[in-house]
Amino acid sequence: MSRTIETSGAALAALCIAGMPSQANATVVTVNDFLAYNSGTDTPLSIDSSTANFFYNSYFFYGQKADFGSTGSGLTANNGVNGSATTDPYVGGYTPYSSYTVSNDSGTLQGTGYIQFSLFNDHGDQEYGYASFDSAGDLLSYTYETAAATPLPAAWAMFVGGTAMLGLVARRRRKAAA
């Protein structure tokens, strides 16, 4: 019977050292950031990063026009202006340093009103999201999903507890063998 206790103790210790997979809850973040298609400015956007990874460019070119594109660690989905309102990864792929026209010369939205994107945050984690536009092509908001990291203090406690349990199991085995 003590053999069963040692085996289950070793299994429990191994699970503690390996660390149970955390229930990393992804957080969906929406940033409301109205930028007009006819403002005549180029606005860099830093989405979950300390550096700009996207831009919204409104400029005068035979009237008014607006583009949304990627720069730095930003990537736009290959479906361009025909994206959807989802933070799930787009299966068609992503393109770096690309831009799409979201508003034509007369201020009419091109496409579905969403551009899906991906980015690498400052920790090197890849995140997915989409930008939302109104019927004129004004940028209304961008939404992205960010994963919550495992809290370091909890990970250390599990590691130390698992190591201590393995030590106790090894000590009991040595005593039993003697």
Same domain, 14 and 39: no
| Lowest-confidence segment of 33-37, 115-119, 145-149 by average pLDDT | 145-149
CA distance 131 to 142: 4
pLDDT digits (tens, 9 = 90+) for 59-88: 876 666 889 999 999 999 999 999 999 999
Q: Rounded to two decimals, what is the model's pTM?
A: 0.69
Q: How many domains does the chain have?
A: 2
Q: What percent of the chain has pLDDT over 90?
A: 47
Residue 141: the pLDDT is: 95
Span 40-49, average pLDDT: 91
Same domain, 60 and 130: yes
Same domain, 16 and 57: no
**Structure-model confidence comparison of residues 12 and 141, the more confident one:** 141
CA triplet 70, 115, 146: central angle to 5 degrees? 75
Same domain, 44 and 127: yes
Span 153-169, average pLDDT: 75
Same domain, 14 and 80: no
Q: How many residues does the chain have?
A: 178
Residue 159: the pLDDT is: 73
Residue 147: the pLDDT is: 67
User: Which domain range does residue 167 map to?
Assistant: 2-21+153-177
Same domain, 120 and 162: no
Report helix, strand or coil for 75. Answer: strand
